[in-house]
Each structure stands twice: as structure tokens, then as C-alpha cells.
Amino acid sequence: MNINQITGLILAGGRGSRMGGVDKGLQPFRGAPMALHVMMRLAPQVGQLMINANQNLAPYESFGVPVWPDELQGFAGPLAGLQTGLNHCETDYLVTAPCDSPFLPTDLTASLGAALETQDADLAVAITGEGSTKQPHPVFCLLKTSLLPHLTQYLQDGGRKIDAWYASLKVVEVHFADDSAFRNINTLEELQKFEMP
């Protein structure tokens, strides 16, 4: 899959409630805002980048990529951010990653894209583990931009759960061996732990 046909979307639209209401993506992590680490890992894998954020837009805009708030009001979750990204996407495919995942795989887009094409799927999603330890990572996904009307209808009908929307699509799961690459930093305690030498 040609990376110029893929736009990367960093999801930073949450309230940061598990971090005490602070904006997770803007928290300092190893010398830079956490979302900037995500952006630097994702940038070589895509043709364009954008950020979905619902607060502190100016600091995110300083990263030098477009920043779009949810079109649905009220912090409606990752699907609202995904809808916004699809609405502004000018390429055939969109890949997403959350703003609190600074270790995301450097082959995320290539692996998801290869599986999507091979299986002729609508959406490819990352998983780790196997059997009873299998863990899907639904906000690490690559999907066809043409899914926008389908997602918009789902949201208009009151749907908010990402897994339920995926269940209505042809989805391929892509296994990644390194669980730690998908580690989210959700609390200030975790952030401090990673900051320690």
C-alpha cells in the first residue's frame, strides 16, 4: 500500500479523566509532549498527518499539522474522533493511533495495510497475545475512507461503542508480537515511572 494514500490521525480528543482531567497528549514525556512522540513515530508511515483534539487546540497546532475538534458535541469518544478524521481525510485510507501511545510500532501502517489488501477488508485492527491473552487494540486501526457514511449513520443512530461498529464491518485482525508497543500511558503515576532514569 502506497503510504501517500494513507493519512495518519492522532486521537487526542478525550477528557483525560484517568489523568485527573489533564490533556494526556500534552503531558511532558522524555522532553516533549506525549502526542509529539506519537506523531514522530507515525509520520514516516503515512503521507499526511492530522490530530483530533477538543481542547488546547493551539498547542496541538504548534506541531505543524491540521487539528480538528469533534463534530459531535460532548466528548463522544474515539468514534467521534474517527468520524472527524474521515471527514477531513483526502486519501483513500486513514490510520489511527491514540495520543498516549508513544511506543507504537514502526511497522503499524505497513502491517495493517498489507492485511487489509490481502483480505479485501474494510478495516484492519491491531491485536496482541493469543488465546486467553488475546488483546484487541481497537484505536490502532487502518480503514477505508469510504466508510464515512456508514460510521456517520451509526453515530446518528446513537451508537458509540467502537467494538459494536466494527462488528458491522469486514474486519481483519493483525497480530503484533510486541505487547509493549501498544502500551498506553493513562495515569500521572505511569508517566512519572517512565520519566525516571
Evaluate whether 84 touches 51 at the Cβ level (below 8 Å).
Answer: no
The two beta strands, 6-12 and 48-53, are: parallel
* pLDDT reported for residue 73: 79
Distance CA 42, CA 36 (A): 10
Q: Evaluate if residue 12 carries a pLDDT over 70.
A: yes
Q: Which residues contact 149 (CB under 8 A, 6 or more apart)?
A: none
* pLDDT reported for residue 194: 66
Evaluate whether 139 touches 123 at the Cβ level (below 8 Å).
Answer: no
Handedness of CA 186, 42, 182, 95 (dihedral sign): positive
Evaluate whether 115 touches 176 at the Cβ level (below 8 Å).
Answer: no
* pLDDT reported for residue 6: 98
pLDDT in tens, 176-193: 999 999 998 876 677 776
* pLDDT reported for residue 197: 47
How many CB atoms sit inside 10 A of residue 132's CB?
A: 5
Q: Map out the domains of the chain with their CATH numbers.
A: 3-195 (3.90.550.10)
Distance CA 108, CA 110 (A): 6
E strands, 18-71, where?
28-29, 32-33, 48-53, 67-68
pLDDT in tens, 81-98: 999 999 999 999 999 999
Evaluate whether 57 touches 69 at the Cβ level (below 8 Å).
Answer: yes
pTM score, whole prediction: 0.93
Q: Evaluate if residue 64 carries a pLDDT over 70.
A: yes
Average pLDDT value for residue range 22-29:
90
Average pLDDT value for residue range 45-66:
97
In degrees and rounded to multiples of 5, residue 153 shows phi and psi of -65, -45
